[in-house]
Each structure stands twice: as structure tokens, then as C-alpha cells.
Structure 1
Amino acid sequence: MNANAPAAGTSLTEAFRGKRLILAASTGGHLAQLDQISRLIEPHPDSIWVTFDKPQSRSLLAERRHEFVDYISPRDFRNMLKARSTFRRLLASGEYEGIMSTGAAIALSALPFARRQRVPAVYVESVSRFDGPSLTGRIVSRLPGIQLRTQHSEWASRKWPYEFSVMDAFEPSGSNGPPAPIRRIFVTLGTIEPYRFDSMVDAVLRTAPADAEIVWQLGCTTRRDLPGTSFTEISAADFERYSVESDVVVTHSGVGSIMNLLALGSHVVVIPRRKSRNEHVDDHQEQVARDLGERGLCVVAEAPELTTADLVQASGLSAVPLGSTSSL
């Protein structure tokens, strides 16, 4: 273990509050989780964020120090190795007092240099990993001196202690009204490359009311047969605007999208990507969706089974930050 690393049992808040950190994460859910964790920890304002150049990161980090590296797709070892030069340079400067990552592959670019520079380092496994660490987590766990955290107490251990879950920040609003007429729908498929999600698009086309106005954020699922307005990617500001203006939002089961939608009080239908349809590398999105459904935060459906009734049900369902229901 690094001489300056947080001691076992020390909370991240205690270890890193006020410290100048390197905060590294892939865009999407990983970056959204790291943002929420950083708000809990409150690192030094001169900390630096390292991620990909996407509308989400440009909006989120506009007022914060940041550097962009080339996008690293799942199992993209070429760009993973390429990004290492950025972290080598930042850590060699001696300016930073710690490094934290929520994954995914960018963590493997960032964390190996921490021990060499005697810089405390922490890897927080994604909340989407319900049964154990991801491939990245398993690899990182073999690196000496890296502190580990899980967001699920069910598989916590001495090696992977549990401290918090970002999803614990939300609860059902407790004031859900009757279902509303569905006039506006926002559909967001996320931006993970190179995985298309045509089954979700087809499900919305099949079930949306004929007169509904639809806005689509498609990522790499390029389509020419869609009604309404389509975008490949959108800024965080536009994501918020379309979410708030819609009667229902249909989203893939990506943690970043869901966290944003729950925080906005949106009426959400969650549809998980499936490995069997080549929509993701594995089926962890199904676990995320199931957990959200059990918490009563949204409506959950498989793409082939989505119904108009699911959309109607979601229009009367929303969530709020934990502890807010008592003031409603």
C-alpha cells in the first residue's frame, strides 16, 4: 500500500476532502457517479477531471478544470494505452494529492501510475455492478496500493468495503398523480459505442400515441424512419430541457441517464440493453433496471414487451431526493 494511502476503514470523505485530486471516468454513468461522489467528498476546487469530449462532459465540466482524452470503447486497448500519457504527465507534476476513478477502461489508464508516484488512489466500482466487480474492477484489484469501494453491501468484503450507493439518494415522491395524457415523449438511448439499440426504438414506435411529439437522442443507432426530432448526442442543458418538457421519458438502463432523470423528477420508463441482441457487452443493465423497479422509482420493461400502458403508468410516477417526501 502507498505510504500516503487512506487507511483501511477510512471514508473517502475523510481521506480526500479538500485535497487536489485527479478525477477520471468515462462519460455517461461513470462520469455522473463520479460527479455525485465528488459533491459528497468536496475535493479542492483545483482538482482536475479527465474524461472524453462529449456534450455531457463539456456541459458538466465547463466551470471546472478538465482535460479530454480520446474515447475508450469497451475492450479498446489501443486508446486505453494512448490515454496513459495524460495521467503519467499529471501525476509526475507533483501537483495532485490523490486520484479517483469510477471506471470504466479509463481507470486502467489512470491508476497504475499512482503507486509509482506514491499518490493515494481509489477505484469506486459502478453502482451497476450488483454481483461483483466488473472486468475493470477485477484488474484494478490486482494493482498493489489501490483502495477499492463497492456500492453494494451484498458483495462487500474486506477487500471491497461498502461506503455508499449513489442510488440511495432517491426515493418515490409519494405524491404521484393520475396518469397524464402523453403528448410529448423524450427517448434517450445513451452514447455507448458501437452498440445500437434498435429494439428500443422499435418498441417506442410501436407503443407511442400516434399524435405524440417525440424527441430522440440516438447515439450510434442511426435511423431514417423516425417521426419527430432526432439527435445523435445532446448537451446536458438540452437533456434537461427535453426531460422536463416531456410527459414521459423512455431511457436505456444507463446509470448516468437515470440519475439525471430521477434528479429532474421526470416520469421514466427504463428499458435495459441486452447482450443477446448485441446491445451491450453484458446484461448489467437488466440488474440496474430491476433494482430501480424494486425501489419504485420508475416503470421497467423489456423492449419486446413494452406497452402503451407502461407509458401511461410512468406518466404518473416520479422520484425525489431522499428525505424530500416529508416536506411534500
Structure 2
Amino acid sequence: MTTLLVASTGGHLAELHDLVPRLGVQDDCVWVTFDSPQSRSLLDGQEVIHVPPASSRDVAGAVRDLVAARRVLCGGRFRRVISTGASVAASFFLPAVRRGLACHYIESATRTEGPSLTGRLVAGLPRTRLYTQYPAWARGRWRYGGSIFDGYAPLPRPKPRPVSRIVVALGTHERFGFPRLLARLVDVLPREAEILWQVGATEVPGMPAGARRQVPYAEMQQAMREADVVVTHAGVGSALAAIRAGHRAIYVPRRRAYGEHVDDHQVEMARELGRRGLVLAREADAVTAEDLAQAASWTVGTVGSVVPFRWAA
């Protein structure tokens, strides 16, 4: 059996990449995603099919991916499709279901209270298997499979680090900036610190020197490993990157009311990871120098063996 692994870049791809070993998938795997520095670095050496990028609520992009999906699936090579979203999942599931392929949709960890728009759409497709990462809303056809954050725990450092190297990661979404947080960090972060600024589409008066729209995935991972503190928007991919680098990041949610995202799922994400103690959740206008010191006094590590994701193979 050949499995098609489908995810948009960013957090959705990071989640699926980390979940695959827990799924026990032993057959041949082919990835479908967008062409980006993250996907090229993360999936280096694996078979990848790049499809047109589609952003949030991007109907035209979803249609382009539907056309690509029909082309990819027409050869009869694949027997199963697994996805963590976003809209590219629906674009591939529609023709996959018509061809009788097994489809598995794992809702993103950002959805702590119910399914996303994509989750609601694919739930209407027959025979599609649906998984949530939160037992509180596992009902009907949605079954609880486990969480991508299982197996991580916060640990106090024996000796707090001095805050001399900082990574700021505000995401790379082309439509949504985060000027509230960037302006706050320009005021709060120590001027003598060595700072990597990855700001995406964010622009403010007095942009910090060296600010970059995107940083290659491998470079970002290395910078996080060497940093004393990580400050990031409350995306699931950013959380996973910081956690894997051993950081309890300062984790700041975008808010819909300020035009920073399509909804408030990052608020839910910050609340959930704050409850687990894996991040230091803060609002954009409330980050302080004391938060930097507190974040530098903790690390995040793995604890025990992570149980397999509970899905129907």
C-alpha cells in the first residue's frame, strides 16, 4: 500500500511529520505539500509532490489544489490518504473518496474546542475517518487519538541562562502580520542581545535591524538550539520547533479582533500549552523583561515513551 501524506506548510506539516512515526505506517509514503524552505528542509530525501499554495479561506487556491489532486490520484498508485489539513486536505479527500481510497483526517492541535472549517467539510464525506487531539470533544465520528504534545514536560534549569541570544519567530503567513507583538518586542528586548528576527509579513515603524521575512527551516532550528529564549506567535509549528529545541517559549496568540488571523484558535492553543506548562503564554502588549528571565530558567524535555496515536490503520 502506498500512503499519501497531505498537509499545508507551517504547523500542519510539522504536526503530520511528527505524528507519522506514531501512526505505525510501514508502507511507501509520498508527501503532498507546498514548496517552501520548511518543506524542502523537513522532507529532504523523501518523495514530495508540490502543489499550488492555498492560504486561509482561499477558495481559488483550494480549487487549484483540487485540480492537482485529480492529476496526482488518477494513476491509481495510492490506496490511503492521511492529512492534518488545512484546505489542501479537502481538495485531496474529495477525489480520493470518489476513488474509494481510505481517508484519515487528524484535526490540528490548535483546535481545542471543536473542528476547523476544513474538519467540518471533510466530516461530510462518507467513510472518512476523523480524529481529534482532545478527548473533550471526541463524539460521533470524531475519535480521540492522542496529542502531538504527549511525551513533553517542562523542567527547571539547574542554573538559569543569561538572556544574550534570542529568536523571534512571528510566522510566515503572507496575509497576516503581527505588528502589536513586534512593536512590543522592539521596546522590551535587550538591545545588547543577539537577536534573530523572523517577522513574515509584519511591518512596523522602526523595523529592527536584520529583520527577515523568512528564515530557512534548518537555520531556524539551529538558531533555536543555540538561543537562550524563544519568542513566537502561538502557532502549533512554532511551538513544536521551540519544544524540540528544548525551550519553554514565550508564546503570544494572534487575535482576530486586531486582524491578526481569521479566528482565535491561537488563543485556544496558548491556553492549552500554558496549561501543560510547555510555554509561557502572554498577550502581545504584556510581554516583559521579567518574562525573558523566566523563560530562560526553564527547558522542555521528553518524558517516558510516547504511546502510539490511536487511529484505525
Structure 2 counterparts to residues 96-107 of structure 1, below 5 A: 96-107=78-89
- How many residues are paired up? 305
* Counterpart selection for 1:202 from 164, 183, 188: 183
Deviation at 1:65, TM superposition (A): 0.6
Does 2:249 match 1:264?
no
Partner in structure 1 of residue 135 of structure 2: 153
* Counterpart selection for 1:120 from 94, 102, 106: 102
Partner in structure 2 of residue 249 of structure 1: 230
Partner in structure 2 of residue 7 of structure 1: none
Please provide the CA RMSD for this pair.
1.5
Counterpart of 2:32, as a letter, is: V
Partner in structure 2 of residue 6 of structure 1: none
Partner in structure 2 of residue 176 of structure 1: 157
Partner in structure 2 of residue 191 of structure 1: 172
Deviation at 1:201, TM superposition (A): 0.5
The answer on whether the counterparts of 1:214 and 1:228 sit within 8 Å (CA) in structure 2 is: no
The answer on whether the counterparts of 2:183 and 2:204 sit within 8 Å (CA) in structure 1 is: no
CA deviation string 1:119-165 (max 9, x = no partner) = 10011111110111011111111111211111100000131000111
Partner in structure 1 of residue 46 of structure 2: 64
Q: 1:224, 1:185 → 2: CA distance?
A: 21
Q: 1:83, 1:111 → 2: CA distance?
A: 11
TM-score between both structures, scaled by the size of structure 1: 0.89
Does 2:215 match 1:234?
yes
Q: 1:234, 1:20 → 2: CA distance?
A: 33
Deviation at 1:263, TM superposition (A): 1.2
Partner in structure 2 of residue 133 of structure 1: 115
Deviation at 1:46, TM superposition (A): 3.3
Deviation at 1:74, TM superposition (A): 0.7
What fraction of aligned residue pairs are identical, expressed as a percent?
A: 40
The answer on whether the counterparts of 1:193 and 1:220 sit within 8 Å (CA) in structure 2 is: yes
Which segments of 5 or more consecutive residues in structure 2 lack a partner in the other structure?
306-313
* Counterpart selection for 1:85 from 52, 57, 67: 67
The answer on whether the counterparts of 1:188 and 1:218 sit within 8 Å (CA) in structure 2 is: yes
Q: 1:125, 1:310 → 2: CA distance?
A: 31
Deviation at 1:179, TM superposition (A): 3.1
Which segments of 5 or more consecutive residues in structure 1 lack a partner in the other structure?
1-18
The answer on whether the counterparts of 2:182 and 2:204 sit within 8 Å (CA) in structure 1 is: no
Q: 1:222, 1:97 → 2: CA distance?
A: 45
Q: 2:265, 2:300 → 1: CA distance?
A: 22
TM-score between both structures, scaled by the size of structure 2: 0.93
The answer on whether the counterparts of 2:62 and 2:87 sit within 8 Å (CA) in structure 1 is: yes
